[in-house]
Amino acid sequence: MPGLYRDEGVVLRTIKLGEADRIVTILTQGHGKVRAVAKGVRKTTSRFGARLEPTSRVALQCYKGRELDVVTQVETLEAHRALREEYVLFTHAIPMLEAVDQVAQEREPNPALYRMLSGALRTLAERRSALVTPAFFWKLLSLEGFHPMLEGCARCAEDDVELVAFDLDEGGTLCRDCARGGGRPLSPDALDLLRRMLGGALNGVLAETPGPAAHEVEHLGIRALEHHGERRLRSTALL
Ligand SMILES: [Zn+2]
C-alpha cells in the first residue's frame, strides 16, 4: 500500500482533536518529527489510545498524509509509566520532550537526536537522577552545534585565568575582567560539573547527589536553549 510506513518513535505531545481523536507529535527514528492523527484514541474502547502518551516509546505504522499522517497501528516498546505518573520524574521528563519538539525538524531524520532522547528517558526512569535533564539540555545544545567553550575565556581568549561567568552570546566562560561587561555568574562547582557532564564522565555524575551546582547547570542550560531557540521553554517553569 503506497504511503504506509513503519518506524519507531517517542511521543512528544498530544492534543485533542474533536470528540474522540488526537494529534500526536512523535520524534521517529527514521522520519524525523511527525505529526499524526490518532483516530478514536479518546474512546475507552480504543485499541491504542493508552499507548500514545508523552514519553512512551512505540513502534508504529502510519499512513502518510500531506500535512498530518494517520496512525494505523501502535505497539508499546517502552511505556515509561513512571515518567508520567510520578510528579518529580514528570517535571524532569516533559522539558526534555519540549526542548526536542523545538529543535527537531518535521520529516527530517535525526537518528542522533532520537538516540539521545530515548536514552535520556530510559536513564531518567532507571536512575531517577535530577542530573539527567540538565545533562540532556547541554548535550542537546552540543548536538545542535552550540558546544560551549569551558576552557579559557570566550571573550579575551586568556586561558590562564579564573573563570567566573558564562556568556550566552559568546557561548562560553568569561574571566573576571570580561565578566564585568556581562555574563551570568558561574560557580566553580557548576563549571566543574558542566565539564564532567560534557567530557565523558556522565555516568559518574549521575551517581552523585545533585547539589546547588546541578540547579545552576540546569538553569543555565535552559537559558542557553532559549537563547539559541529564541523561544521560551514553558515546561521548565516546573523545574
Ligand atoms: Zn576574558
* C-alpha 222 to ligand 1 mean position (Å): 24
* C-alpha 154 to ligand 1 mean position (Å): 7
Cell of 184: 551570568
* C-alpha 94 to ligand 1 mean position (Å): 36
**pLDDT for res 235:** 85
Give the start-end residues of each E strand in the chain. Answer: 4-17, 21-28, 33-38, 57-63, 69-78, 163-167, 172-175, 184-185
* C-alpha 177 to ligand 1 mean position (Å): 6
Identify the bridge partners of residue 10 per DSSP, sorted by sequence position. Answer: 27, 57
Would you say 48 and 73 are in contact if contact means Cβ atoms under 8 Å apart?
Answer: yes
* C-alpha 153 to ligand 1 mean position (Å): 5
- Spell out the per-residue pLDDT of the chain, length 239, in tens: 679 999 999 999 999 998 889 999 999 999 999 999 998 877 766 667 678 999 999 999 999 998 899 999 999 999 999 999 999 999 999 999 999 999 999 999 999 999 999 999 999 999 999 999 999 999 999 999 999 999 999 999 999 999 999 999 999 999 999 999 889 999 999 999 999 999 989 999 999 999 999 999 999 999 999 998 877 888 888 78
Q: Does residue 54 sit in helix, strand or coil?
A: coil
Which of these, 185, 64, 82, 181, lies nearest to 124 by C-alpha position? 82
Residues 6 or more apart whose CB falls under 8 angstroms from that of 178 comprise: 153, 155, 156, 165, 167
* C-alpha 156 to ligand 1 mean position (Å): 4
Residues 6 or more apart whose CB falls under 8 angstroms from that of 195 comprise: 150
**pLDDT for res 44:** 67
